[in-house]
Structure 1
Amino acid sequence: MTEYSAGDVRDLVGMRTTAARVIVGLYAVVCVIVAVFGAREAATLWPFVPAVLVCCLAAYALIVVPGDPLPWSATIPLIAVGAMSCALVFAALPVPPPEGVALWWPMGMSTMIFTFMCVRGRTLAAWIGVLALIATSIGWAQITGQGAGHGLAISITNAAPVLMSTFFAWTLRPLARSIYLLRETSLQRSAEEAAAAAALAERDAQLARLDALARPLLERIASGEGLGPEERRAGVLLEAHLRDGLRAPVLQTAPVVEAVADARGRGVDVVMLDDHGMDTVPEPERDRIRQEIVSELRSVASGSVTVRVLPPGRRALVTILVRDDSVRRIELGHRATG
């Protein structure tokens, strides 16, 4: 069978739900009841206990083992469920065996396992299990002198439910693939729409911010009146501030922006650059580095300061180059090496 990576068919048929666990519990109860009734005619009782356990554990495995198709580590033991449970029960029955539940319950309970193996994507394995069940019945009938035909007659009918589940699986599983592909496409489209909406919201926020910062000065320039020294100075500072937002967005927090503005107000030439070395750094570490940048900016009274977020893979995350009375280079956020 084809392996589907788009999703697990258990989700489509509700095999992960509480209801599925309840049904498995009911299956176990029925298995115990029919085994108790069948054991009344048995020569010995102990084989019925492992036969019931085999069927119940198989049913539980069908709903809890992940993967689609069912992994081979679980499939191979399930193949043997029919042959094993039938062999245990047949060994305890007298010859000729009694008619009714004592004879057919291990076959019927095993066949239910095989039908759901088809749903879990192991149709061929299910049919191998059915053939093993039939072969066990034929062998037991032949050994006990009932004839191989009798063994075939009492077991062959169990192939009918597996045949129906085979056609069901051939219909369901391609449909499941289509459903999961459609769901992935829908989720991808939703993610793209959310990303586009977030980008539009960020653009609107940036436009509003730019409008608030630049409109007064632009209107003053558009008026045709000459700008005074203070207004020219304000324009230069505004241009530097907007440039920082483009060149070093990771450093655009209120404390850093305020410290940069204060430094430029003192006449310090501040340049900020971001080569994305902090993109994957946890926020607490980012805040610590920003606080150190603020401290350095506040300590400089003249000259120039260049703050650079280094590219990924460097020994440090950020460097600060200070030129005043001397030249100093500070490294922040050292990465672990070795």
Structure 2
Amino acid sequence: MSPHTASSPGLKLPQITGRGAHVLIWIYFVTISALALLALDDVRSPLIVYISTAIFGSIWWVLTRDTAERASIRTSVYVIIASVVATAISSENSLASGFSQWYVGAAALVMFYLSLRRRDLLAWIGFSAIAIVVIGWGFTTEDRLLEAILLVARQAPFVLVGSLFSVGMQRTSRSLEGVHEVETARAAAEAAALARTAERSRRLVALDAAVGAHLQRIADGAELTQEERNELLIAEARLRDSLRARQLDLPEIVAAVQSARRRGVSVVLLDDRYPLPLPAGALTTVVDAAVRILDAATSGAVTIRLLPAGRALLTTMVADGDYYSRVEIPSL
């Protein structure tokens, strides 16, 4: 993985249900409540203002308690009903325009936030109900219908902006997810390429250590002795072991195998468990048993095999030469 990929921060959208958003919500609630209290001279009953303020407080409390990205149906229904009720009782209580009509802006902002919480349809249903209540109040009063219509019209853009912002956030979220998937796939490909390169380098180093000197002599045109030919055959078998029995490719076992092969013993190493690793604590037992059976062999053949996972036995070791010996290591 490149340094740039490894250090690049994740792309995320702003949290609309996080602490920062909740702090802004409650700051607005305190502000709108203060404006409502400043307009007590323009209402019939201050008690209605206190009740409406408490209702909107409960609305924001419910919204901030529901921290899911998409507001639940139960929360949305309560928010709509409570906003309509607060608007209905406050409309009849208002005597003049201005701060005494704070409740319409508060209800519109509630619907705005509801649309941000991916409830656009319910937000518009709620705002429509609020608009019907306000315009209905305008019909029942003298010369205040136009005021009611303008009051609703001034607040509608808030809900519209909320809906457009919600749609934009969803599209941006999908785009960021696509970018994240592409970055993840690229990082995985880079990691795989680096792993292949490292493995290839490791094997080249092992090959050079095993037969590099002999291959250089062949390249120089020198004739190999029988002993050197035997060493090449042992080195070839060593390379096969590293491919067929990776978990047995350990210094202690390699040394014991090389010594046994120089004594004329045929050694076969198999790892049918790879890529699953050996259980914790089993490696030492396997290494000790393998070294013992290899050191004891003077002729014939030795086969050491790691069995597939799920078997009752973890490893079998068989020596068949001047004598027959079999070692079994259980999985447990």
TM-score interval, normalised by the smaller of the two chains: 0.7 to 0.9
Aligned position for 1:4 = none
Equivalent residues in 2 for 1:73-152, closer than 5 Å = 74-88=72-86, 90-91=88-89, 95-97=93-95, 99-105=97-103, 107-137=104-134, 141=137, 146=141
Match 1:280 to one of 276, 280, 298: 276
Equivalent residues in 2 for 1:128-207, closer than 5 Å = 128-137=125-134, 141=137, 146=141, 154-207=151-204
Structure 1 residues 291 and 267, CA, compared in 2 at 3 Å: closer, same or farther?
A: farther
1:65 maps to 2:68: yes
Structure 1 residues 279 and 266, CA, compared in 2 at 3 Å: closer, same or farther?
A: same
Match 1:291 to one of 273, 284, 293: 284
**In structure 2, distance between residues paired with 1:130 and 1:317:** 69
* Contact residue 312 and residue 330 of structure 2 kept, 8 A: no
Match 2:60 to one of 11, 34, 55: 55
SS of the equivalent of 2:15 reads coil
How far off is 1:79 after superposition? 4.6
Structure 2 unpaired stretches of 5+: 1-10
Equivalent residues in 2 for 1:205-216, closer than 5 Å = 205-216=202-213
**In structure 2, distance between residues paired with 1:136 and 1:311:** 74
Structure 1 residues 75 and 109, CA, compared in 2 at 3 Å: closer, same or farther?
A: farther
SS of the equivalent of 1:43 reads helix
Equivalent residues in 2 for 1:5-20, closer than 5 Å = 12-15=12-15
Structure 1 residues 157 and 50, CA, compared in 2 at 3 Å: closer, same or farther?
A: same
* Contact residue 256 and residue 293 of structure 1 kept, 8 A: no
Aligned position for 1:43 = 47
* Contact residue 91 and residue 134 of structure 2 kept, 8 A: no
Superposed CA deviations along residues 127-158 of structure 1, whole A, max 9, x for unmatched, are: 1222233345467x38x954995766644543
Amino acid at match of 1:78: S
1:305 maps to 2:302: yes
SS of the equivalent of 2:312 reads coil
TM value normalised by structure 2: 0.76
Superposed CA deviations along residues 306-338 of structure 1, whole A, max 9, x for unmatched, are: 22222344333433233352242413424xxxx
Match 2:329 to one of 328, 331, 337: 331
Structure 1 residues 103 and 207, CA, compared in 2 at 3 Å: closer, same or farther?
A: same
* Contact residue 253 and residue 291 of structure 2 kept, 8 A: no
How far off is 1:237 after superposition? 1.9
* Contact residue 35 and residue 102 of structure 1 kept, 8 A: no
Equivalent residues in 2 for 1:214-229, closer than 5 Å = 214-229=211-226
Amino acid at match of 2:28: V
SS of the equivalent of 2:227 reads helix
Superposed CA deviations along residues 264-290 of structure 1, whole A, max 9, x for unmatched, are: 345443211122x25234x6x25x333
Structure 1 residues 129 and 322, CA, compared in 2 at 3 Å: closer, same or farther?
A: farther
Aligned position for 1:25 = 23
Match 1:250 to one of 247, 268, 274: 247
* Contact residue 114 and residue 129 of structure 1 kept, 8 A: yes
Aligned position for 2:8 = none
For the aligned residue pairs, the C-alpha RMSD in angstroms reads 3.5
Q: Which has the larger radius of gyration?
A: 2
How far off is 1:188 after superposition? 1.3
Structure 1 residues 96 and 205, CA, compared in 2 at 3 Å: closer, same or farther?
A: closer
**In structure 1, distance between residues paired with 2:130 and 2:16:** 28
Aligned position for 2:4 = none
Structure 1 residues 131 and 94, CA, compared in 2 at 3 Å: closer, same or farther?
A: closer
TM value normalised by structure 1: 0.74
Superposed CA deviations along residues 7-58 of structure 1, whole A, max 9, x for unmatched, are: xxxx6542279xx633431320220232244254522535533421312442
Structure 1 residues 195 and 85, CA, compared in 2 at 3 Å: closer, same or farther?
A: same
How far off is 1:90 after superposition? 4.7
**In structure 1, distance between residues paired with 2:51 and 2:116:** 32
* Contact residue 58 and residue 113 of structure 1 kept, 8 A: no
Structure 1 residues 111 and 80, CA, compared in 2 at 3 Å: closer, same or farther?
A: farther
Structure 1 unpaired stretches of 5+: 1-10
How far off is 1:248 after superposition? 1.1
**In structure 2, distance between residues paired with 1:51 and 1:225:** 96
Structure 1 residues 172 and 33, CA, compared in 2 at 3 Å: closer, same or farther?
A: closer
* Contact residue 112 and residue 163 of structure 2 kept, 8 A: yes
Aligned position for 2:6 = none
Equivalenced residue count is: 308
